[in-house]
Structures are given as structure tokens and as C-alpha cells.
Amino acid sequence: MATRTTVYLDPRIHKALKMKAVQMSVSLSDLICEAISLSLKEDAIDLQKIQDRIGEPTQSYEAVLKELKKDGLV
């Protein structure tokens, strides 16, 4: 069951979303829910990638710059 909530949008954004919902033949609510779901999925993917790389060695920004200077790239 869906939960009702109130979201305050800039009037121009609201107008654009309403127009897009009509163009896509979906409700404004469905359009917003889909956008939020996609954003959360992207976050989950990013977090998983971070977890996957936890054991990798790290290098400081200063060390990277020093290496780039040594190679004549900076």
C-alpha cells in the first residue's frame, strides 16, 4: 500500500513534471516514484562499488600529483 506525502516543488518544475506525465501517459505520482526509485538504485550501485573496492590500496592526492609532475603531465 502506498503512503501519502506532501512534496513542495518549484511551480516551474511542477508544470514540467505534469507535462511529462501527460506525455508519458502516467500519473504525476508514478513519475515521481519512478524517479526516486531510480535515484535510490543508483545509490545502491555506488555503495556496492565502494564496498567492492574496500581492500584496494589507496594513494594520496599529493602522491598522484607528484607522480604526474615526475612524468611531465602537470
Backbone angles phi, psi at 7, to 5 degrees: -125, 130
* Helix, strand, coil tally for the chain in percent (to 5): 65, 0, 35
Q: Alpha-carbon distance 29 to 37, whole Å?
A: 12
pLDDT tens-place string over residues 13-26:
999 999 999 999 99
pLDDT tens-place string over residues 27-67:
999 999 999 999 999 999 999 999 999 999 999 999 999 99
Question: Hey, what amino acid is at 1?
Answer: M
